[in-house]
Amino acid sequence: MIERPLRVGIVGVGTMGADHADRLATRIAGAELVAVADAEAARAAEVAARHPGVRHVADPFDLIADDDVDAVLIASPGFAHEEQVLACLAHGKYTLCEKPLTTDSASALRLVEAERDKAGRPLVQVGFMRRFDPEYVELKRLLDAGPLGRLLLVHNIHRNKTSPAWFRDSAAIVNDSLVHEVDACRWLFGAEVETITLLTPTASGRAPEGLRDPQVALFHMVGGGLATTEVFINSQVGYEVRCEAVAELGSATVGLGQQMLVRRDNAYGGPIPDDYRQRFAGAYDIEVQAWVRACHRGVVEGPTTWDGYAATAVCEAGVASLATGAPVRVDLADRAEILGVRP
């Protein structure tokens, strides 16, 4: 139990980390942003300068080891996560690690095991913000409460206006964008993904050379559910996220507030957010606030390292499917054997 404000440090203050810095410094109760670190020192200095009293630290590992930091929010690129999360575990720090947990399943599984062996208890939450978005939460509540009967199908749409410069190959769309729908489907169905098939039409002429964009994913869930996801990261329009769940007695949809806007010039239907920071601003606030409250109580309540591992394993199989268009089975480790809990 931590009685005073939770002292938080942020590792990685690019687009998302800087957004979290503003959030933690201005509107999260029970927390104090104390330090930021970034591979680009100037960027850390710039973000720290916006928030009086916040230190900038050159080396992320010094921030993680700092006794004056109780909890770490990791918003660095996915390839840096394994070592940084391992350091957090070694120092017993509560951690909120942005998705993806890591970019390959072997390293993600190592983190599941390291949390078990080094910390002996859950310390890490993975940043899948859809689970905190009020509309998604309402959908989940409705499905679990039972009036719609058994969930049969989920249809997702996930579009961005343009891809970030570092999206240089088609796998980035799977690992960094589709990963959200992988987690959302596991959560909504309460089941793992059994196979994934990834198909692509002719690529948009607006997508950078070599990027197979858009993509369509099909998930066969354990237990018989099916999910489709369109991911289109250079749609030119804006940030559109929708999710329709089809159950035996009815359907329910998240994101209908954006449904009428289909043209690039925002011509009708009202404004559409430019990116995830606007569309999910409320979800991020709720997510980070819930994490802070959970840290005060010494627990992890959001998506776990297992959730991060399972999502990464599905994406890895998805990248393999991209090569052939054939279904690829997701081979997960035995959860009960690893964590000693029922699957």
The reply on whether position 160 binds ligand ISE by CB under 6 A is: yes
CB of 328 to ligand ISE, least distance (A): 22
Which lies closer to ligand ISE via its Cβ, residue 70 or residue 213? 213
Q: Which of 18, 233, 294, 300 binds ligand ISE (CB under 6 A)?
A: 233
Token reading at 121: 């208890």
Is the CB of residue 318 less than 8 Å from the CB of residue 142? Answer: no
Length of the chain: 343
CB of 148 to ligand ISE, least distance (A): 27
The reply on whether position 235 binds ligand ISE by CB under 6 A is: no
CB of 211 to ligand ISE, least distance (A): 12
Which residue's structure tokens are 């996560």? 81
Q: Which of 70, 115, 176, 183 binds ligand ISE (CB under 6 A)?
A: 176
Which lies closer to ligand ISE via its Cβ, residue 233 or residue 295? 233
Phi, psi (rounded to 5 degrees) for 313: -65, -40
CB of 141 to ligand ISE, least distance (A): 23
| Stretch binding ligand ISE (CB under 6 A), from 44-52, 140-148, 176-184, 247-255 | 176-184
Token reading at 74: 């990791």
| Stretch binding ligand ISE (CB under 6 A), from 135-143, 174-182, 216-224, 244-252 | 174-182
Other beta carbons less than 10 A from residue 168's beta carbon:
13
| AA letter at 149 | G
Site size toward ligand ISE, by CB under 6 A: 7
In the region spanning residues 254 to 283, those forming contacts with ligand ISE, defined by CB under 6 A, are 276
Which lies closer to ligand ISE via its Cβ, residue 276 or residue 291? 276
The 3-state DSSP class for residue 342 equals: coil
Which lies closer to ligand ISE via its Cβ, residue 7 or residue 161? 161
CB of 37 to ligand ISE, least distance (A): 19
Residues β-bridged to residue 246: 153, 251
Token reading at 209: 């050379």
Q: Which of 105, 177, 235, 312 binds ligand ISE (CB under 6 A)?
A: 177
The 3-state DSSP class for residue 322 equals: helix
Which lies closer to ligand ISE via its Cβ, residue 84 or residue 177? 177
CB of 23 to ligand ISE, least distance (A): 15
Largest CA distance in the chain: 56
Which lies closer to ligand ISE via its Cβ, residue 114 or residue 258? 258
Our CA angle for 81, 123, 93, nearest 5°, is 75
Rounded to whole angstroms, how far apart are CA atoms 79 and 90?
A: 19
Token reading at 298: 């010494």
Which lies closer to ligand ISE via its Cβ, residue 57 or residue 175? 175
Residues 6+ apart with CB under 8 A from 239: 159, 160, 161, 272, 273, 274, 275, 276, 278, 279
Determine the residue with CB nearest ligand ISE: 177
Burial label, 67 (beta-carbon count in 10 A; 0-12, 13-18, 19+): exposed
The reply on whether position 207 binds ligand ISE by CB under 6 A is: no
- Chain residues in the site for ligand ISE (CB under 6 A): 160, 164, 176-177, 180, 233, 276
